[in-house]
Amino acid sequence: AFGVLFNLRSELRTPTSNLGNFHTAYIEGSITIRDANGNRVDEIRLDRTKGVQLNSDAAIRLALSNAAETIEKSLGKTLAQRLR
């Protein structure tokens, strides 16, 4: 049996006159795999993923959606291989 822990951090940048009205959100973190005894087996890094929208909540949701897509398309395969 394995445990999988997602550790995500977010950063939100509010609009400035140079960027117009766009909010920019970044999500980064890691996926940690632990064995049945709680020992860390592996860790996969989730690189900084960006979302840009007119609303700050929408920017964070977009960044999370983009991060989930990255996990599904590439990191998920790596995770599955390492759990074997």
Has residue 35 got a pLDDT over 90? no
Has residue 64 got a pLDDT over 90? yes
Spatial distance between the Cα atoms of 77 and 49, rounded to a whole number of angstroms: 18
Highest mean pLDDT pick, 19-28, 37-46, 48-57: 48-57
| Cβ atoms of residues 61 and 82 within 8 Å | no
Has residue 27 got a pLDDT over 80? yes
Would you place residue 53 in the very low, low, confident or very high pLDDT band (cuts 50, 70, 90)? very high
Has residue 78 got a pLDDT over 70? yes
